[in-house]
Amino acid sequence: MPNMKAVITGFLLIIFAQASAQNVEAFGVFGGFNFPFTIDQGLNKDPRFYGRFTLRATPVGFVYGYDRVGHGILLTPNYTQTGQKFIIKNTTGGDVGTRDVQMSYFSIPVALKLHINDMSFFRLSMVAAIQPSFLIKGQDTYTISSPNQATKLKYPAGVSVPTDPGYEQVYDGVFVPDMDNEVYVSKDKFNSFQLFAALGLRSDFDLNDDWSINFDGRANFGIFDTRTKDYVSQLQNPSGPADINGNPGAPDLYGQRREVYLSVAFGISRIIQTKQSFKPKATTVAGALKSSTPKPRSTSSSANKSMSKKKGGAKKKK
């Protein structure tokens, strides 16, 4: 953690040091969507769950940025939804429901932009960012279709078989009841803070001197496990209701978990130019040459010669 704090501090210092020399400032809003992937070694080993394509929204965000030739900085606070959905399969391989891993964050990405090009109306940039994120909502829910309690799942050894009404263990599986968005893992089992690192591309297309449209695409990688240490410890050391073999079980199979998502955002920004205008000192070529030609310095000998010439000329006239 000390090394991580040093990296974050150094990154922020580099970014904010750039702010003192920027020449274009922009404010705007954006929205977009995410393609999340919950990489969980425990869920991957569980025969009940298979990952499915998931789309989440980034409903709204704000952008504040500075740019100069070659590089810039970007601050994009936003509301972000992550977490993947998993198909629930029965003992014969049929799809019978969904496990939905959901997390909503208030995120404050801080990014460094390195311009690939610097055209007057279009800028394409590589983006590297760190993204402190604060949990707003977090839960795992089950939705299972089980008419007449006929859906049967294969619980792996080590996972507790619920003792609630509607569950019945048989020799080749466990019959389960109907479920509709039933909370399986509640918010208190999730870490309240997460840190993401991101890499991507951003384009800024200036419509005129005042407005620009923006496109931003990034790959975001979660640094920490999204679950609390106490909950992870509970998975590592099963002590709950019995599993299929009668041994103490846990809510899930243990495995490290990381959140990764691909984000796509579109926005519009108000541009404020802060460049200084410079006025040339010489407005014409003649003026420039005249101002650049040094004037001859007068000496005492040349002054005496001119005085003697005047005197001599006066005598001859008489």
Residues of the chain with pLDDT under 50: 14-22, 276-289, 299-303, 305-318
Euclidean distance between CA atoms 45 and 159, whole angstroms: 12
- Of 2.40.10.220, 2.40.160.20, 3.40.630.30, 3.20.20.80, which CATH number belongs to 2-273? 2.40.160.20
pLDDT for res 68: 84
Instruction: Tell me what pLDDT residue 308 has.
Output: 47
Are 84 and 37 in contact by the 8 Å Cβ rule? The answer is yes
DSSP 118: -
Return d(Cα 94, Cα 169) in angstroms, integer: 19
- Alpha-carbon span 35 to 262, nearest angstrom: 5
Give yes or no for a contact between 211 and 268, defined as CB atoms under 8 angstroms apart: yes
Distance (Å, whole) CA 28 – CA 30: 7
- Distance CA(54)–CA(100), nearest Å, equals 10
Distance between CA atoms of residues 62 and 273, nearest Å: 19
- DSSP letters of 152-207? EE-PPTTBPPP-STT-EEETTEEEE--EEEEEEE-GGGB-SEEEEEEEEEEEEEES
Token pair, residue 256, equals: 């490290």
User: Would the pTM of this model clear 0.85, i.e. be above it?
Assistant: no
Q: Where are the domains of the chain?
A: 2-273
Q: For residue 172, which of 195, 159, 154, 146 has the smallest C-alpha distance?
A: 154
pLDDT of 258 reads 96
Output the pLDDT for position 11.
Answer: 52
Beta bridge partners, 183, equal 141
CA atoms within 13 A on the CB side of 252: 22
Q: Which residues contact 140 (CB under 8 A, 6 or more apart)?
A: 99, 100, 101, 102, 183, 184, 185
Q: Which SS3 state, helix, strand or coil, does residue 254 take?
A: coil
Backbone φ and ψ for 262, nearest 5 degrees, come out as: -100, 125
Say what the pLDDT of residue 48 is: 97
Give 83-136 pLDDT, tens digit per residue: 999 999 999 999 999 999 999 999 999 999 999 987 778 889 999 999 999 999
Cα–Cα distance, 274 to 293 (Å, whole number): 37
Q: pLDDT at position 295, please?
A: 55
CB atoms within 10 A of CB 93: 8
The pLDDT of residue 191 is: 97
Q: What is the pLDDT of residue 316?
A: 44
pLDDT at position 21: 41
Cβ–Cβ under 8 Å, residues 177 and 202: no
Nearest-angstrom CA–CA distance, 121 and 67 = 13
Q: How far is CA 284 from the centre of its chain?
A: 52
